Amino acid sequence: MKGDNCFTFIDLFAGIGGMRLAFESCDGECVFSSEWNKFSQITYRENFGEMPIGDIREINEKDIPDHDILVAGFPCQPFSIAGVVKKNSLGRASGFLDRTQGTLFFDIVRILNEKRPKGFLLENVKNLKSHDGKKTWKVILESLEELDYEVFWEVKDGQDYVPQHRERIFIVGFDRRRYGRNINFSFNFLVKTQKRKLKEILDGEVPLKYTLSDRLWQYLQDYAAKHRARGNGFGYGLANIEGITRTLSARYHKDGSEILIPQVDSNPRRLTPRECARLQGFPENFKIPVSDTQAYRQFGNSVVVPLVTAIAKQILDTIENMEEGDGQQDSVVL
């Protein structure tokens, strides 16, 4: 599945297309995309030339094109077990479609069930495993198992690819009905030994509007001091430009406190939206057509593109090797 042998994929809960960039860089063709946020749709359209479908819940799974890989950075929600308990008490099988009904994960399940792609990649926050008293994680794994997919998962940190500490959980699956259970997949691909430094992604000159006002800077210092006195760890993060940053979040637009850039003879400043794009590994030609507030939200919700690219290559190598029957996999070096 390399070179001219193009594969197809769909991009669900697409955001601004970070996962799409990764799979397109591996010669993939996106045949369907879905994203409900209107501002993310604008950014997606500007960069990929198409408007993603809005609410995936309104799309019949039979109408989605056939595809090789399903890609989704889905939101996590609590799974209600009340309906399952009721059905069990009546002697009825609940099954994965019933257990996930009413959640956005249900849309992934019903599409996998109908289209049966060769594989999938799902991405979520690290705490997905403990979400809702671990019920969410249990239902997800059981549902994918019942779908007859061989599942692999691991928490990976983006700092191997960008100067940012960013842990996310990645779930990979392969169709057992096509490949059986003896699937040789591993997240232990090779990465660069020389990690990037924050200073590599910073602009030399930045507009004054990104520098914190005296009032905001004083507030953040007072807030941090108050919590230190209580023995708490809350407070702003003054980044070391020779190292890496904290995790960029969607709330960065509020005050930028988790990642502040020190400045000589001046208050610290926020990252610019372009610097946030670089911090997530987006290419320089990626267009940012929305306001700073929306851009901060979008990049804070996105993925580390080169990390997803490494995982995508590993998925594709695994499928290629299974289809060729040689059983040997090459590690990925980016």
Kindly give, in sequence order, each residue whose CB lies less than 8 Å from that of residue 319, ignoring residues fewer than 6 positions away.
1, 68, 118, 119, 174
Q: CA dihedral defined by 120, 26, 2, 116, rounded to 10 degrees?
A: 20
C-alpha 273: how far from chain center: 18
Side chain identity, residue 260: L
Closest by CA to 84, choosing from 70, 71, 101, 67, is 101
CB atoms within 10 A of CB 160: 18
Q: Is 174 left (phi over 0), alpha (psi -120 to 50) or beta?
A: beta
Whether residue 26 lies in the annotated active site: no
Closest CA to 71 of 36, 29, 40: 29
Rg (CA), the chain: 21
Q: Where are the beta strands (DSSP E) in the chain?
A: 7-12, 28-33, 69-72, 119-125, 149-157, 167-175, 261-263, 266-269
**Nearest of 267, 316, 252 to residue 1 by alpha carbon:** 316
Structure tokens at 144: 């994918």
Other Cβ atoms less than 10 A from the Cβ of 150: the count is: 18
Q: Tell me the residue type at 117.
A: P
Choose the catalytic residue: 26, 30, 76, 276.
Answer: 76
Catalytic residue numbers read 76
